[in-house]
Structure 1
Amino acid sequence: MLKVDLKQKESIVILEPDGDLCKSDFKRASAIIDPYILENDKLNGLIIHVESFPSWDSFSSLLEHLKFVNNHHEKISYLAFVTDSSLGIFAEKFMDFFIGAEIKTFPFNDMQKAKDWILQLDNEK
């Protein structure tokens, strides 16, 4: 399951995966995020808040995840991984080659620091 929390005032989406991710998780996330992006042209930031990274329940779920990233990465200014998993740092380095957003990793209990980082950087523009 993927919890999607759109903070409209800050223009930030917080994604909190729990258990194996399925295709419908990404479709539901898109249904929440896409109308906001259409109206506002972008998101200041996306926060992925997860203690340890989940897997996908099927190959089609992985493909839907990649489609979600492809459809949204150009409209997101900042991406924060808030996790204690070493995969967060790997993802930060790996994804830097594929998406235009500025990426940073924070410890799992530092959600507020991640939000502050996104909002501070957005205010500097």
Structure 2
Amino acid sequence: MIEHYWHCDHSVLEICPLGPLQETDFQALEAQVDPVISEHGCLAGLLINAAHFPGWESFAALISHCVFIRDYHKRIHKIAVVSDHTLLGFMPRLVDHFVGAEVRPFPADGYQQALNWLAEPG
């Protein structure tokens, strides 16, 4: 399950995984993101607030996650990953080569710093 919150007048989407990620989570995210992208052409930022990354419920959920990234990464300017999880700390450096967005890691106590970075123009 993923909770989401909008910041900065619907230009920054925060997502918080609460349990193993499911296929339907990414369908729900698409329903939130599509109207904003239709209106503004892109999102200024995506904040992944993942103090604890629960993984995926199934292989199909992992595939849905990859499809979501493939379909939206060029329409998001910046991605902030807020987590102390070791794997997620390395993730920005790995995916930065494959996505159009600028990706930056932040420690779990750097939530506000991440949100401020996403809100900056650029």
Query: 1:53 deviation in Å?
Result: 1.5
Distance 1:10 1:29, change over 3 A: closer
Partner of 1:115: 115
Distance 1:8 1:118, change over 3 A: closer
Instruction: Return the TM-score normalized by structure 2.
Output: 0.94
Partner of 2:60: 60
Distance 1:35 1:8, change over 3 A: farther
Partner of 2:35: 35
- Percent sequence identity is 34
Distance 1:30 1:10, change over 3 A: closer
The answer to whether the 8 Å contact 2:46/2:78 transfers is yes
The answer to whether the 8 Å contact 2:8/2:119 transfers is no
Find runs of 4+ consecutive structure 1 residues off by over 6 angstroms.
none
Root-mean-square deviation (CA, aligned residues, Å) is 1.2
Quick check: 1:105 aligned with 2:77? Answer: no
Return the letter of the residue paired with 2:35: P
Instruction: Return the TM-score normalized by structure 1.
Output: 0.92
Query: 1:48 deviation in Å?
Result: 0.3
Query: 1:52 deviation in Å?
Result: 2.1
Return the letter of the residue paired with 1:112: Q
Structure 2 spans left out of the alignment, 5+ residues: none
Structure 1 spans left out of the alignment, 5+ residues: none
Partner of 2:86: 86
